[in-house]
Amino acid sequence: MMFKTTRDIDNLLKKHDSYREGCLNLIASENFASQKVRNYLTGDLGNRYGCYATHNPAEREYSGNKYIHEIEMATQALVKDIFKADYVDLRPIGGHMAGMSVVLGLLEPGDQVIEVSLSDWGHGLVGPMCQVRQFDETINVAYMAFDENRGVDVEKLKAQARELKPKMIIFGGSGTLFPEPVKALRPLADELDILIAYDASHVTGLIAAGVFPNPLSEGADIMFGSTHKSFPGPQGGFVASNNHDLMVKVGNTLSPSLVTSHHLNRLPALAASILEMKEYGEDYAKQVVKNAKALAVALAEMGFNVQGKGMGYTESHLLLMELGDYVDTAPGKLLEEAGILCSDDFSGSSPEVRIGTPEVTRKGMKEEQMPVIAQFFKRALIDKEEPEALAKEVESFSRQYIGIEYSF
């Protein structure tokens, strides 16, 4: 198809909105921003450049930045406050770009990195980068081990660090169930001169709300992430640290090699979402975790193999479920046909799904709705009901929750 008029655009967007209202969105990397936050994305800043080539935002490449500079500095102050950081950089337009800026800014050719592998629900930052020949020839990557509860195996990581002597260890990923052992690794990192980086993309909102450990307070040298997963803001990225020298290196790497115009219209929206989090974030984040735990328990009671049982399944906004007893292919498409949206993976020995609770929490669901959701999974994957018929029930349930809570 091809758009012929703006009415065509409007009609397709209406179809999208109606479709998503009828779906049960359990994608852990998505959230539901308030209308107040969304409105800020439509302002004049969407057509402006606020470029600065160094870590110093006062050194602007474009004129007309008088109030843009004030907006950036005021938003930076909010980000510093919620993450207890002395320095932040908001130029990355996504969490992955933020991570790339840390890797490229702080490593030298030939350095070793240890991170979370894709098969353990890592973001796979350095691994995929090394699919590009230039990076593969200059960065060495190894992967940390996890225990039977999907937590980092601390002793194995310490032994691995002593053997490989990496320049950097990157904690965090897209399947973070429990706090990572940043504090436990800090003494060894000091001894071996290892930088500890933390990919907070998924748990940003929980950290900002104070219900998940702040990596910088635990001893991480630098943290990066996104603002649109457990954090209910606009899409975008950030880097934060209490180390000035590291931030200068990252800032000089970001621009102009990775980004010049950094999508200024997201900054007022980000600021508004932070103010919402300051007002409602603790209640929101606590409910997100309560919902994730309740859903994990309900799914386990129905026979599903929910990971992390020995540690209470999860302390974050998501849970992981292994499905080898019920399906032999990645189940995401089947679940989508039933109106259930979540992420799947088949990079390990068995198909898995990742289920997140941020959006359903923002839309008003509490612990009592989690067994209903678990029943939908059972009917789709264990009972193998016809997905189109099940989708109608999922839609009827989901349309009861189309408002928004924890927001202005």
Domain spans, the chain: 8-32+281-398, 36-272
Between 270 and 130, the more confident residue is 270
Burial of 119 (0-12, 13-18, 19+ CB in 10 A): middle
**CA trace torsion 355, 359, 362, 368 (10° rounding):** -40
Q: 8-22, 127-141, 294-308, 321-335 — which is least confidently predicted? A: 127-141
pLDDT of residue 303: 96
How do residues 375-395 score in pLDDT, each as one tens digit? Answer: 999 999 999 999 999 999 999
d(CA 340, CA 161): 41
Q: What is the pLDDT of residues 6-60, one digit of tens each?
A: 999 999 999 999 999 999 999 999 999 999 999 999 999 999 999 988 778 888 8
Residue with tokens 């259930």: 340
Question: Are 8-32+281-398 and 36-272 the same fold in CATH?
Answer: no
Tokens 């194995």 -> residue? 156
83 pLDDT more than 80: yes
* 333 within 8 A of 316, measured Cβ to Cβ: no
Residue 187, preceding bond cis, omega within 30 degrees? no
Q: Residue 137: its pLDDT value, please? A: 85
User: Distances from the Cα of 7 to the Cαs of 12, 164, 392, 395, in angstroms?
Assistant: 9, 59, 28, 26
The domain made up of 36-272 is a member of CATH 3.40.640.10:
yes
Total residues found in the chain within this entry: 408
Beta bridge partners of 24: 340
Give the C-alpha separation, 45 to 82, whole Å. Answer: 24
347 has a pLDDT exceeding 80 = no
Confidence of residue 177 (pLDDT cuts 50, 70, 90): very high
For residue 354, is pLDDT > 90? yes
Comparing 18-32, 41-55, 124-138, 204-218, which segment has the lowest mean pLDDT?
A: 124-138
At 131 the pLDDT is: 79
- Considering only CA atoms, which of 82, 84, 58, 85 is closest in space to residue 72? 58
Q: How confident is the model at residue 123 (pLDDT cuts 50, 70, 90)?
A: confident
What is the average pLDDT score of the chain?
95
Q: Average of pLDDT values for 304-333?
A: 94
- Return the CATH class of domain 8-32+281-398: alpha beta
What pLDDT is attached to residue 111? 96
The Cα 266–Cα 38 span in angstroms is 9
- Mean pLDDT for 283-305 is 98
- pLDDT score at 329: 85
| pLDDT at position 330 | 85
Residue 134: pLDDT over 90: no
Strand order in the sheet with 87-89: 87-89, 237-241, 222-226, 195-199, 168-171, 112-115, 140-143
Strand-pair category, 222-226 with 237-241: antiparallel
Q: How confident is the model at residue 146 (pLDDT cuts 50, 70, 90)?
A: very high
pLDDT value of position 349: 74
Percent of the chain's residues with pLDDT above 70: 100
269 CB-contact burial (10 Å; exposed 0-12 / middle 13-18 / buried 19+): buried
Half-sphere exposure of 179 (CA within 13 A, CB side): 18
Nearest to 248 by CA among 38, 51, 53, 17: 53
> Mean of the pLDDT values across residues 309-334?
94
* pLDDT above 90 for 227: yes
Least confident among 54-58, 328-332, 346-350, 352-356: 346-350
The 3-state DSSP class for residue 313 equals: coil
CB 129 within 8 A of CB 135: yes
